[in-house]
């Protein structure tokens, strides 16, 4: 996006936007690091309400995790199509990625509702506060990703994207993969490892 503003190539050979996204994701690692640490400290602290093992539905969450991981695959296909300058396929795969992401978020909404009905509120216990905060932050990240993907589809259709198309698709792809990788860590630590 900004490269057009400057006459010379970048010193590293990587474009500003891509390097900027990498830096941002580095920062995000620490954000999720702090949230995950908080959850790990508090996950066993239940003074009232259900314990983790009583409410987690591992098969359900495994399926929605699988859906999210598949969205990384479709994201790769979108980036590949963008590099080949195939607008139709780029749009197709971006839309599929967004839909898979939306399925995951829908699953999370369902899960939160189910947990709430089983007695785990945000203020029920330290486990509740830290569980909803951690997974909620991740859910917001996925949602922001979906908004970016859908906006990108709209912008590509109007073909008014500033800068190189493939570059922008790739940058949002980086973000999307990062959010997926974080979910693998969260799924393992929160759901799979018993308290």
Partner 1 sequence: MAIIERPAPTVPAIVTPTTTYGLLKRPVSATGWRSWVFTVDHKKLGIMYGATAMLFFIVGGVEALLIRLQLAAPNGKVLNADLYNQMFTMHATTMVFLFVMPMAAGFANYFVPLQIGARDVAFPRLNAFGFWAFLFGGIFLNLAWFLGGAADGGWFMYAPNSGPVFSPSNGVDFWALGLQITGIASLTGAINLIITVLNMRAPGMSLMKMPIFTWMITVVQFLLLFAIPVITVALFLLSFQRNFGAQFFDVAAGADPLLWQHLFWIFGHPEVYVLILPSFGIVSEVLPVFSRKPLFGYPFVVFSGAAIGFVGWGVWAHHMFASGLGPVSVAVFSLTTMAIAVPTGVKIINWTLTMWSGKLWFTTAMKFSIGLIVLFTVGGLSGVTHAVAPSDTQQTDTYYIVAHFHYVLFGGAVLGIFSGFYYWWPKVFGKMLNEKLGSWNFWLMVIGLNLTFGPMHILGLQGQPRRMYQWTEARAGEGFFNLAFWNLIASIGSFVLAVGILTFLINVLITSRNPQKAPLDPWDARSLEWMTTNPPKEHNFDVVPTVHHLDDFFHQKYEEDAATHTMKQVRTAEEIMAEQERNADKHIHMPSPSYWPIVLAFGLPVITFGVIYSHLISVVGGVIVLFAAYGWALESSTAPDSDFETNTPGTGLDKVASNHD
Contact residues: partner 1, CB under 8 A: 1-2, 4-8, 10-12, 14, 16, 19-20, 23-24, 26-31, 33-35, 38, 41-42, 45, 47, 122-123, 125-126, 128-130, 133, 151, 155, 160, 162-163
φ, ψ for residue 181, nearest 5 deg: -60, -40
35 versus 65: smaller Cβ distance to partner 1: 35
What's the min distance (Å) between Cβ of 25 and partner 1?
A: 10
66 versus 122: smaller Cβ distance to partner 1: 122
> How is residue 63 written in tokens?
């399926």
Going by C-alpha positions, the residue among 180, 179, 177, 173 that lies closest to residue 81 is 173
Per this entry, what is the length of the chain?
A: 195
What's the min distance (Å) between Cβ of 29 and partner 1?
A: 8
9 versus 59: smaller Cβ distance to partner 1: 9
What's the min distance (Å) between Cβ of 62 and partner 1?
A: 27
Cα(20)–Cα(1) distance, integer angstroms: 12
What's the min distance (Å) between Cβ of 171 and partner 1?
A: 12
DSSP character string of 107-176: HHHHHHHHHHHTT--TTT-HHHHHHHHHHHHHHHHHHHHHHHHHHHHHHHHTT--SS-HHHHHHHHHHHH
CA distances for 71 relative to 27, 116, 177, angstroms: 23, 28, 9
2 versus 54: smaller Cβ distance to partner 1: 2
What's the min distance (Å) between Cβ of 177 and partner 1?
A: 19
> How is residue 160 written in tokens?
């008014």
95 versus 133: smaller Cβ distance to partner 1: 133
């Amino acid at each position: 996006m900004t490269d057009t503003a400057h006459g010379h190539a970048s010193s590293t050979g990587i474009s500003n936007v891509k390097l900027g996204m990498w830096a941002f994701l580095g920062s995000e690692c620490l954000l999720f690091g702090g949230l995950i640490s908080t959850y790990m400290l508090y996950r066993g602290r239940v003074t009232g309400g259900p314990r983790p093992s009583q409410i987690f539905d591992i098969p359900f969450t495994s399926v929605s995790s699988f859906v999210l991981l598949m969205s990384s695959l479709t994201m790769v296909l979108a980036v590949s199509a963008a590099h080949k300058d195939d607008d139709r396929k780029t749009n197709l795969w971006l839309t599929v990625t967004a839909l898979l992401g939306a399925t995951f978020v829908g699953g999370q909404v369902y899960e939160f509702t189910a947990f709430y009905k089983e007695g785990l509120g945000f203020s029920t216990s330290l486990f509740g506060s830290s569980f909803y905060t951690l997974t909620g932050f991740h859910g917001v990240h996925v949602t922001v990703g979906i908004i970016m993907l859908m906006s990108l589809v709209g912008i590509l259709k109007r073909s008014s994207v500033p800068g190189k198309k493939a570059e922008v698709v790739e940058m949002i792809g980086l973000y999307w993969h990062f959010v997926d990788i974080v979910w693998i860590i969260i799924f393992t630590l929160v759901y799979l490892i018993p308290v």
